[in-house]
Structure 1
Amino acid sequence: MDACGERFVIVSGDARAEVDEIGGGLAGFVQGGRVRVEPHPPTARPPKGSGAVLAPWPNRVRDGRWSHRGTGYRLALTEPDAGNAIHGLLRHVPWTLTGRGGDHVSLSAVAPAQPGWPQPVRVRVTYTVGAGGLTVETTVENLGSAPVPFGLGFHPYLRVGDVPTDELDLTLAARTSLPLHDGLPAGPAVALERSFSSTPLAGLDLDDTFGGCRPGDGDEFVRHRVAAPDDGGTELWADPAFGWVQVFTPPDFPRQVPDGAVVASRAVAVEPMTCPPDALNSGTGLMELVPGEVHVLRWGVCATD
């Protein structure tokens, strides 16, 4: 197997997505002739978490230490400079192909019991494209002998074709903000002073956690979106279980331009999460997986042009 693993391509009509074998993550999505999710070249370590599956927890665990039912654990410090464990256990491992068709691909991986993690958890992700855009369905199961906490997140960077990030407006379904210090909670979530509703991204430097995400009246899904001046837009929708979202605006995402060159560009990650940073310690938003119990969670991306 190549060190970067296989790249799976799925297509239906004007919708096309790419998925990585290593990490099982989304490597780009196009709909209606416009890029909707930032692509990245084949690599075992996508830049800035691009497209990653974040399981069995998203975001950070302070000092890699946490406890469950009276037992303490110490995870490997995968963010060593800050001394934290970050984004779960499955980002850089090979995933197993479990199903494939022209418009869909399913991959599976197991986070095994190991120092710092007490029970094996299977995560299966199915990516499907169609007229409605991209749908991502995740099935999680505790393969062990005792309950284990679980959180899930994803790390897509949203685009509206070639429109620069600074020309986009951001709308979030969030109602609260979680104060952070060095990426970790610095207090309880507080009500947003102002909502993100068609808020210009120009001048906003974000690596922030927002909560209270829930569907609007009469809706089934949580919805976040970016919109361009030409009325084009890209929406990320998610099950209500994704009550949190991390928004990250790095100035130096490596974007490939039409002539094939790679340039450092401003980008915007809109990361749906079932729980906030350090949830293994706070318990906020955590699921508890009972042995043999299966949970299914869905999210997706679609054009709103």
Structure 2
Amino acid sequence: MTEALSGKQFVLRRGDAEATIVEVGGGVRTYAVAGRDILAGYGTDVVCPRAAGAVLVPWPNRLAGGTYTFDGVTHQAAISEPALGNANHGLGRWTRWNVVTQSQNSVTLGWAVPPQSGYPFQLDVRTTWTLDDDGLQATHEAVNVGDTAAPFGIGIHPYLAINGADRAEVTVRVPATLRVLVDDNKIPTGTKPVDGTADDLRAGRPLTEVGLDLSYAAPERGADGRAVASVEYPGGGGTIWMDEAFDWIQVFTPDALPDHPAAVAIEPMSCAANAFNSGDGLVVLAPGDRWTGSWGVSGG
């Protein structure tokens, strides 16, 4: 039997919910409740499309020109987005993550980031995926196991499914107070308040009015510290929450994914795009330092 293109499959079950976590990239391939897709997934015969469900580490989003200077040393990462000349979505998407622990409703996958040209630092990263009564949750952890400080950021790329609903009847809600402005290469140039603009998604807007690829920052949070975004349509929808480790959000609305006519990516990020250069949200891990952050998705 031919192995899935996303490697080993780790199926989590709890009640009528099921999620599939994958070896390649350590991300989530499918998540459904009572047979209805909450996340827009992809098949085992498909190479992960458009970073669906991927863990983006050790930086999320774009790194301008693939270059940055850290502690006085300039580094050049490989250009993975040739059209715009950027290094995009980190280094972990096409690596095989290892099982640390596994149970019926939870799995922890880990990846030791190898020092390499463009990122000569040593991190151990782990993601624990758990299905519980509140939905699918992920806790990410990064530890600097090297002898020098390391720049770090992380993002996750889940697509909320709309299951064929008319786009005009789909409402997208994102609690961010700032829109991140970008140049022609989609590198941030500043921010502006969303108040009074078409980019204000706090009260929700139809998917037909939401831009293709928007960056946001400074989300409003509840008393529990969580920011909550959602996609809703007649008879269904999905909600994504993120803790205080994630203060940036990317919204991406491609025309289609395999097996899904449309979907909406709502991406929690620990830092801004190009943070290795701007410092916006950048985490610097000293030797032995540990970073953690959590988010989750639910629907019914």
User: TM-score category by the smaller chain?
Assistant: over 0.9
- Name the amino acid aligned to 1:215: R
Q: Distance between the aligned counterparts of 2:167 and 2:284, measured in 1?
A: 37
Question: Equivalences for 1:250-265 in 2 at 5 Å?
Answer: 250-255=254-259, 265=261
- Name the amino acid aligned to 1:180: V
Q: Check whether the contact 2:64–2:187 (CA below 8 A) recurs between aligned residues.
A: no
- Name the amino acid aligned to 2:259: R
Quote the residue 1:61 is aligned against: 63
Change (3 A) 1:164 1:96: farther
Residue 198 of structure 1 is aligned with which of 200, 204, 207?
204
Q: Distance between the aligned counterparts of 1:164 and 1:290, measured in 2?
A: 49
Q: Structure 2: which 5+ residue stretches go unaligned?
A: none
- Name the amino acid aligned to 1:213: P
Q: Check whether the contact 1:45–1:92 (CA below 8 A) recurs between aligned residues.
A: no
Quote the residue 1:227 is aligned against: 232
Q: Check whether the contact 1:14–1:31 (CA below 8 A) recurs between aligned residues.
A: yes
Question: Equivalences for 1:57-206 in 2 at 5 Å?
Answer: 57-193=59-195, 194=197, 195-196=200-201, 197-206=203-212
| SS of match in other structure, 2:240 | strand
Deviations 1:80-135 (A, max 9, x none): 23211010010001110111110011111122111111211111011100211011
Q: TM-score, normalised by structure 1?
A: 0.91
Change (3 A) 1:149 1:44: farther
Q: Distance between the aligned counterparts of 1:33 and 1:163, measured in 2?
A: 16
Aligned-pair distance for 1:181?
2.4
Q: Check whether the contact 1:238–1:272 (CA below 8 A) recurs between aligned residues.
A: yes
Quote the residue 2:240 is aligned against: 236
User: Considering only aligned residues, what root-mean-square deviation do their CA atoms show, in Å?
Assistant: 1.8
Q: Distance between the aligned counterparts of 1:137 and 1:179, measured in 2?
A: 29
Quote the residue 2:276 is aligned against: 280
Aligned-pair distance for 1:219?
3.1
- Name the amino acid aligned to 2:105: D
Aligned-pair distance for 1:43?
5.3
Change (3 A) 1:139 1:44: farther
Quote the residue 1:245 is aligned against: 249
Change (3 A) 1:112 1:252: same
1:271 maps onto 2:267 in alignment: yes
Q: Check whether the contact 1:227–1:233 (CA below 8 A) recurs between aligned residues.
A: yes
Aligned-pair distance for 1:50?
0.5
Aligned-pair distance for 1:229?
2.8
Q: Distance between the aligned counterparts of 2:217 and 2:185, measured in 1?
A: 15
Q: Distance between the aligned counterparts of 2:128 and 2:166, measured in 1?
A: 30
| SS of match in other structure, 1:253 | coil
Change (3 A) 1:165 1:127: farther
Q: Check whether the contact 1:98–1:106 (CA below 8 A) recurs between aligned residues.
A: yes
Deviations 1:116-175 (A, max 9, x none): 112111110111002110110111111111111111100000025553444210111100
1:208 maps onto 2:214 in alignment: yes
> Aligned pairs, how many?
294
Aligned-pair distance for 1:250?
0.6
Change (3 A) 1:293 1:163: same
Quote the residue 1:300 is aligned against: 296
Q: Distance between the aligned counterparts of 2:206 and 2:213, measured in 1?
A: 16
| SS of match in other structure, 1:254 | coil
Q: Distance between the aligned counterparts of 1:185 and 1:85, measured in 2?
A: 11
- Name the amino acid aligned to 2:245: A
Q: Structure 1: which 5+ residue stretches go unaligned?
A: 257-264
Q: Distance between the aligned counterparts of 1:214 and 1:71, measured in 2?
A: 36
Q: Check whether the contact 1:62–1:85 (CA below 8 A) recurs between aligned residues.
A: yes
Deviations 1:261-303 (A, max 9, x none): xxxx222111110111111100100111111122221000012
Q: Check whether the contact 1:159–1:165 (CA below 8 A) recurs between aligned residues.
A: no
Q: Check whether the contact 1:20–1:42 (CA below 8 A) recurs between aligned residues.
A: no
- Name the amino acid aligned to 1:234: G
Q: Distance between the aligned counterparts of 1:293 and 1:43, measured in 2?
A: 39
Aligned-pair distance for 1:236?
0.2
- Name the amino acid aligned to 1:167: E
Q: Check whether the contact 1:214–1:243 (CA below 8 A) recurs between aligned residues.
A: no
